[in-house]
């Protein structure tokens, strides 16, 4: 075990994957010699050569199209989109190509070896073009998986799982905690299962669900609620597509209440999907309306970032509302 | 005008050889009128007048000073982010000088020189950089994302290349409206890799749009050198491929940039067509304050380009013309430095935008769901003001 931050864990996962399999290649803007704008791909070019870790021209549609073809050929590309805010030129490739390669060919062809890594989320004074959380768009695309780690241990294990998964995976990295999230990470090769949530803590009165950097926010809110005598279960969803319905519903059946927290705008955010499923599975267990503590339905603002964010105070207020409903 | 069969098919000659077109078939020269010493390289020029030359020179100095001060303000934690234009002042400012103020400008994010030349005031720069309530963008965007309707300067957006097809569309609109004006669109050689570049140039050519595409080929896209960005002959060669009139110019030669842009404007407006200018320059600055070029390029390379500093070249030219007055320019720079520092202090203590603005301008009118979200947010903040000490509210909120 070693102490690593989230970035180091991701870098470690990439080194592990590239060492174990010569077909693993890393591509994207500035990922080569420079090691990426956040340094996630640091030293990979020096270790594995320019043919396996290379800069691309600035064209996200090109990066994902290229990586999709590379995966179809049998290589194992890990493509970086520098900020999730810049993934949209690649949306056509992801929606119409990457996600449908297997289905449209009746299983003859696939690009399942592809992993797309991209930093997302607010809290870095990035305004609307360096802060967005576009995960919900991608959960609406049958044929890809969506994975979001919340700490270094999960980042390494889930990224290795994503790279080796037989289907294309969008791996979204909460950049706000790239350096802030520090923890013990095994130095050897390990994977964690995609599609399984992690119960951070058990509780009796309400279930709190989040992913990425917001997991630490609901943990803070849970601690504040604890001080007021409210016992919260805390679940890190880890994967959004597919997501772990059983873990969430089992918890809600015990607590009778659910709160979902995400940074993305509330309307058509992934909380809506969870709420719809949970009311179907747990209808008679629910003792309060399901709470969504999310971003506002506005572009991500710079100067009002603090007010915009679904912070622990808004979360605590919603916890109390649900518990006293 | 007769429409040719499949456009150009009848101009194509048949060949019996396997004819491979290799590099170097098209020679794209670079317009250069001043050497590094400021000497005029051609005597047959319609030169600029003294007033224009001095205005360009002062704007170049202003931007150099602004950039230096703002990079250090960022280092001091007074602003969150900055992007300097150092080394590229001639490309941006001398091209602007060749335009009319009625011409729309769509930039990438390193073209603050356009604003300076058009008369944007120091306090306006500072209000945007400090994201305060006087910023016309209401503090919503990161520093350097300027926008000014009065100066025909479209608000900057960070995604690369998106402005390129928009510029074609805006120019088409200007043509349809009969405006005697065009659109100029600035971008870097890295952005020219985006699909939007190709879409924009092709559409502008096919639809006869009066637009100038001005590429600052400054050698780097963050850490990625131009040779990892493209394998062809720069960006100019692409203009030819799309049927766009193309000029390559020494981007550190203000006179060449000025005369090239004048010519481009004349062609674009007379013939209703796009013109691509590729300005060969060098990003002496870091990409941004989040970047350190020391990890990806040699100091010696930067030093080589420092010898081609466009401000130095311009000063030598002015001296040769007898238009340079050291005392005058020193005084100008001293005044600007002081003004920038004072304006920074003033802007820092300005209030930030009221919280109720969090839901405005998403749509023209605030829809019911946003009004409700605003009210809930304000109610929450009023209950817990200790957690939101910087929030600005008016009495009616």
Instruction: Say which CATH superfamily domain B26-348 falls into.
Output: Thiamin diphosphate (ThDP)-binding fold, Pyr/PP domains (3.40.50.970)
Which of A142, A138, A140 has its CA nearest to residue A116?
A138
**How many residues comprise chain B?**
397
pTM of the model: 0.96
Q: Check if A125 contacts B (Cβ < 8 Å).
A: yes
Question: In the A/B pair of chains, how many CB contacts fall below 8 A?
Answer: 128
**Chain A contacts in chain B segment 108-147 (CB below 8 A):** 131, 138-142, 145
Contact B139 A302 (CB under 8 A): yes
Residue of B nearest to A296 (CA): B373
A9 and A130: one domain?
yes
Q: Identify the pLDDT of residue B22.
A: 77
Contact B373 A296 (CB under 8 A): yes
A166 and A31: one domain?
yes
A229 and A173: one domain?
no
Q: Which of B131, B191, B222 sits opposite A303 (nearest CB)?
A: B131
A313 and A227: one domain?
yes
ipTM of the complex: 0.95
| Residue B332, number of CB atoms within 10 A of its CB | 17
Domain presence at residue A219: yes
Kindly report, residue by residue over B310-369, the tens digit of the pLDDT. 999 999 999 999 999 999 999 999 999 999 999 999 999 999 999 999 999 999 999 999
- B283 classed as catalytic: yes
Q: Check if A175 contacts B (Cβ < 8 Å).
A: no
- B75 classed as catalytic: no
**Average pLDDT of the residues in A99-105:** 98
Q: Tell me the nearest-neighbour CA distance from A272 into chain B, angstroms.
A: 16
| Residue B322, number of CB atoms within 10 A of its CB | 8
Q: pLDDT grade, residue B7 (50/70/90)?
A: low
Strands A24-28 and A76-80: parallel
Q: Does residue B19 register a pLDDT over 70?
A: yes
* Helix and strand counts by DSSP (H, E) for chain A: 12, 14
A71 and A131: one domain?
yes
Contact A313 B140 (CB under 8 A): no
Of A130, A135, A173, A198, the active-site residue reads: A130
Paired tokens of A201: 């803590």
**Chain A contacts in chain B segment 148-187 (CB below 8 A):** 157-161
Domain presence at residue A129: yes
CA distance B215 to B277: 6
Strand locations in chain B (E): 104-106, 183-188, 211-217, 220-221, 224-225, 245-250, 275-280
Q: Check if B190 contacts A (Cβ < 8 Å).
A: yes
A300 and A226: one domain?
yes
Contact B193 A62 (CB under 8 A): yes
Q: Which of B77, B79, B81, B298 to mutate to test the interface with A (most CBs of A within 10 A)?
A: B81
A222: CB partners within 8 A, 6+ apart: A201, A203, A208, A232, A234
A6 and A133: one domain?
yes
- The C-alpha R_g of chain A, in whole angstroms, comes to 19
Question: What rounded mean pLDDT belongs to chain A?
Answer: 98
Q: pLDDT grade, residue B26 (50/70/90)?
A: confident
| Residue A281, number of CB atoms within 10 A of its CB | 15
Q: Does residue B207 register a pLDDT over 50?
A: yes
Q: pLDDT grade, residue B46 (50/70/90)?
A: confident
A177 and A217: one domain?
no
pLDDT above 70 covers a percentage of chain A that reads 100
Paired tokens of A49: 């050569």
Q: Check if A262 contacts B (Cβ < 8 Å).
A: no
End-of-domain residue from the set A185, A212, A227: A185
Paired tokens of A188: 């050897």
pLDDT above 90 covers a percentage of chain B that reads 90
Contact B131 A62 (CB under 8 A): no
Sign of the C-alpha dihedral computed for residues A279, A282, A288 and A292 taken in this order: negative
Q: Which domain holds residue A221?
A: 198-323
Contact B223 A311 (CB under 8 A): no
CA distance B306 to A136: 48
Q: Does residue B235 register a pLDDT over 60?
A: yes
Number of domains observed in the structure of chain A: 2
Helices (H), B130-253: 163-176, 195-206, 226-229, 236-241
A234 and A166: one domain?
no
Contact A59 B139 (CB under 8 A): no
Q: Which of A55, A299, A307 sits opposite B391 (nearest CB)?
A: A307
Q: What is the edge-to-edge ordering of all strands in the sheet holding B275-280?
A: B104-106, B183-188, B211-217, B275-280, B245-250
Query: B193 to chain A: which residues are within 8 Å by CB?
Result: 57-59, 62
Q: Identify the pLDDT of residue B387.
A: 97
Of B110, B283, B313, B374, the active-site residue reads: B283
CA angle, residues A263, A267, A268, in degrees to nearest 5: 95
């Amino acid at each position: 075990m070693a102490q690593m931050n989230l970035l180091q864990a991701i870098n470690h996962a990439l080194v592990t994957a590239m060492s174990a399999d010569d077909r693993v290649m890393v591509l994207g803007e500035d990922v080569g010699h420079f090691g990426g704008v956040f340094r996630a791909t640091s030293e990979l070019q020096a270790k594995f050569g320019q043919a396996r870790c290379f800069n691309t021209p600035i064209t996200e549609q090109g990066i994902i199209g290229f990586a999709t073809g590379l995966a179809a050929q049998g290589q194992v590309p890990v493509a970086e989109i520098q900020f999730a805010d810049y993934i949209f030129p690649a949306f056509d490739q992801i929606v119409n190509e990457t996600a449908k390669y297997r289905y449209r060919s009746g299983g003859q062809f696939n690009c399942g070896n592809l992993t797309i890594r991209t930093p997302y989320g607010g809290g870095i004074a990035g305004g609307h073009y360096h802060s967005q959380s576009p995960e919900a768009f991608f959960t609406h695309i049958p044929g890809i998986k969506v994975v979001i780690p919340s700490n270094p241990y999960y980042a390494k294990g889930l990224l290795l799982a994503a790279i080796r998964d037989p289907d294309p995976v969008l791996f979204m990295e909460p950049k706000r905690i790239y350096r802030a999230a520090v923890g013990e990470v095994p130095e050897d090769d390990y994977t964690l299962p995609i599609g399984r949530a992690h119960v951070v803590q058990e509780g009796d009165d309400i279930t709190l669900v989040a992913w990425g950097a917001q997991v630490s926010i609901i943990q803070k809110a849970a601690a504040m609620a604890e001080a007021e005598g409210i016992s919260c279960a805390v679940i890190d969803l880890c994967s959004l597509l597919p997501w772990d319905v059983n873990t969430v519903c089992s918890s809600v059946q015990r607590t009778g209440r659910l709160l979902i927290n995400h940074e993305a705008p509330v309307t058509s955010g992934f909380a809506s999907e969870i709420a719809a499923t949970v009311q179907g599975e747990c209808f008679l267990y629910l003792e309060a309306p399901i709470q969504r503590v999310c971003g506002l339905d506005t572009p991500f603002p710079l100067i009002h970032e603090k007010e915009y964010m679904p912070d622990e105070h808004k979360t605590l207020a919603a916890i109390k509302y649900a518990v006293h409903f | 005008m007769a429409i040719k069969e499949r456009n150009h098919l009848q101009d194509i000659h048949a060949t019996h050889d396997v004819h491979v077109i290799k590099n170097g078939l098209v020679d794209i020269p670079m317009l250069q009128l001043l050497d590094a010493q400021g000497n005029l390289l051609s005597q047959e020029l319609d030169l600029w007048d003294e007033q224009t030359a001095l205005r360009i020179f002062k704007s170049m100095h202003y931007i150099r000073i602004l950039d230096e001060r703002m990079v250090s303000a960022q280092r001091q934690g007074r602003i969150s982010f900055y992007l300097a234009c150092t080394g590229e002042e001639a490309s941006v400012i001398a091209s602007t000088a060749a335009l009319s103020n009625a011409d729309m400008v769509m930039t990438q994010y390193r073209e603050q020189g356009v604003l300076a030349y058009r008369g944007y005031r120091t306090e306006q720069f500072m209000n945007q950089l400090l994201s305060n309530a006087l910023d016309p963008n209401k503090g919503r965007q990161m520093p350097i994302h300027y926008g000014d309707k009065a100066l025909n300067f479209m608000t900057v957006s960070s995604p690369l290349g998106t402005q390129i097809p928009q510029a074609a569309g805006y120019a088409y609109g200007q043509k349809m409206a009969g405006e005697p004006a065009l659109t100029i669109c600035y971008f870097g050689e890295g952005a020219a890799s985006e699909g939007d570049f190709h879409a924009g140039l092709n559409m502008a050519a096919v639809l006869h749009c009066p637009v100038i595409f001005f590429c600052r080929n400054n050698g780097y896209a963050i850490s990625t050198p131009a040779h990892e960005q493209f394998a062809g002959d720069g960006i100019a060669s692409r203009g030819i491929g799309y049927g766009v009139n193309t000029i390559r110019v020494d981007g550190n030669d203000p006179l060449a940039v000025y005369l090239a842009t004048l010519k481009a404007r004349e062609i674009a407006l007379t013939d209703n067509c796009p013109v691509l200018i590729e300005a060969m320059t060098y990003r002496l600055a870091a990409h941004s304050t989040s970047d350190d070029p020391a990890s990806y390029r040699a100091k010696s390379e930067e030093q080589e380009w420092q010898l081609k500093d466009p401000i130095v070249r311009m000063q030598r030219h002015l001296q040769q013309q007898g238009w340079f007055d050291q005392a005058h320019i020193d005084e100008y720079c001293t005044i600007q430095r002081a003004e920038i520092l004072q304006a920074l202090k003033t802007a820092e203590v300005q209030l930030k935008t009221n919280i109720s603005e969090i839901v405005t301008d998403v749509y023209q009118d605030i829809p019911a769901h946003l009004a409700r979200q605003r009210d809930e947010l304000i109610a929450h903040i009023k209950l817990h003001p200790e957690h939101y000490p910087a929030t600005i509210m008016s009495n009616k909120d």
